[in-house]
Amino acid sequence: MPNSKIDIIGPGELSLIVDMYNQIFQPTHEPAFFERRLQGRHNQLRLVASIDDNPVGFFIGYELKPNVYYEWLYGILPDMRRASIGSQLVDAANAWATEHDYEYTRMECHNQHRPMLHMAIARGYDIQGMRYEPDRHANLVIFEKPLHRDQD
């Protein structure tokens, strides 16, 4: 399991995340898609995980409400999956949210993304519910994690 270097990047480096996103997900998106989603969002955080100075994963999050931080998007390049990069990004995002006095983090995951579902449960997230996403005709599992709870 390689340890990745996790860096906070600024809005001007969004293209790095867009490039990785388009290698991982379909349909692909232009930077404007991300800029629109993040417009007006408070406490945006963009993380990039690198190994040997090569980007291998990313995270984007923002404040959902004053005490809840929303982990909007994670992505790990296919060749680096199952190497704990996702867990390292989750831990870094949770540490950042804790430092910024959020009480909870929340994420949503498509039901068919089994590795992400397993990772969320293993990292201490609780299932809060489900919602249907009509654009993708898929169910999303809603997870939430209290940040100040002692971990088992």
Evaluate whether residue 80 is within a structural domain.
yes
Cα dist. 45→24, 83, 131 in Å? 20, 23, 25
Evaluate whether residue 78 is within a structural domain.
yes
* pLDDT of the residue at 101: 96
Place of tokens 């519910």: 129
Domain count, the chain: 1
d(CA 18, CA 9) in angstroms, rounded, equals: 13
Evaluate whether residue 53 is within a structural domain.
yes
Provide the sign of the torsion angle of the four alpha carbons 70, 129, 117, 109, taken in this order. negative
Count Cα neighbours of 55 within 13 Å in the Cβ-side half-sphere: 21
Mean pLDDT of successive 10-residue segments in the chain (152 residues)?
A: 88 95 94 95 97 96 97 95 92 96 96 90 94 89 87 46
Evaluate whether residue 127 is within a structural domain.
no
- Residue 85 is part of a domain; what is its CATH number? 3.40.630.30
* pLDDT of the residue at 150: 53
Q: Are 49 and 4 in contact (CB under 8 A)?
A: yes
Evaluate whether residue 146 is within a structural domain.
no
Evaluate whether residue 20 is within a structural domain.
yes
Evaluate whether residue 119 is within a structural domain.
no
pLDDT digits (tens, 9 = 90+) for 82-106: 889 999 999 999 999 999 999 999 9
* pLDDT of the residue at 1: 60
Evaluate whether residue 102 is within a structural domain.
yes
- List the domain range (segments joined by +) for residue 25: 5-107
